[in-house]
Amino acid sequence: MSETTDGTLLGGRVKYRQFAKGHRSGFEPVLLAAAVPARPGDHVLEAGCGAGAALLCLAHRVQGVTGLGIEIDATLAELANENFKNNGFLDVYARHGDVSRVSFGAMFDHIMANPPWHDAAGTNSPDAKRALAHHAAQGALESWITALTAWLKPRGTITLILPAAAFVQAASCLKAQGCGAVSLLPLWSRAGQAAKQVMIAGTLGGKAPDKILPGLVLHDEAGITPAANAILRDGAAF
């Protein structure tokens, strides 16, 4: 296995090892996990789990959750399983597989994902792992949403973190797959700036009105905002 670095998540509450080169986890998986409305005993699927950051954060916040991560990079799936074991999360594990082709023996209460989003026609990173994590083929978002919603239980939720420019496409795809009660949560780097990323969620069979949530400002003059720190360091939910 390639060289790894040791670190932590949630202000040191969770041990986290990741590869020294290639894709490195940022705020996104921590924020994603905080937006999933899981309860103890729920089954949660993460598509493209990487080294397991989001599932680690979710398992720490929701004791008794069962989690499965699907990761197309076999070495990352192996590293994720090491991270789960090192934190004592025995009901969370990762599998090597392609999101659009993998089959499961069960349905899920919640699904979360941070899909690849860079245009595949653009310039790829010279690092193969980083390119795989970031660059998406044409139609990939629709393919991911179609594949993933097929494994949702009725009234189950799917939560995605995406570039802001993709929210219309994502909402349309969710609606086409029978997901209603769609919510949009903007993520602002700083107050007064346009949001570069959003989280969008839907409920399979949901009938409630769609809504735009208050959103989260990540930075201010002092650094990370108190509201963001409550999630990123203290493990709070949205």
**b/e per residue 149-167 (b: at least 16 CB within 10 A):** bebbbeebbbbbbbebebb
Task: Indicate the pTM of the whole model.
Answer: 0.91
Superfamily of domain 4-232: Vaccinia Virus protein VP39 (3.40.50.150)
pLDDT of residue 127: 47
Q: Using pLDDT thresholds of 50, 70 and 90, give the confidence band for residue 131.
A: very low
In whole angstroms, what is the distance from residue 236 CA to residue 187 CA?
Answer: 16
Instruction: Say if CB 48 and CB 115 are below 8 A apart.
Output: yes
pLDDT tens digit sequence for 155-167? 999 999 999 999 9
Instruction: Say if CB 77 and CB 49 are below 8 A apart.
Output: yes
pLDDT of residue 119: 55
pLDDT tens digit sequence for 52-94? 999 999 999 999 999 999 999 999 999 999 999 999 999 999 9
Instruction: Say if CB 118 and CB 72 are below 8 A apart.
Output: no
Q: Given its phi and psi angles, is residue 17 left (phi above 0), alpha (psi -120 to 50 degrees) or beta?
A: beta
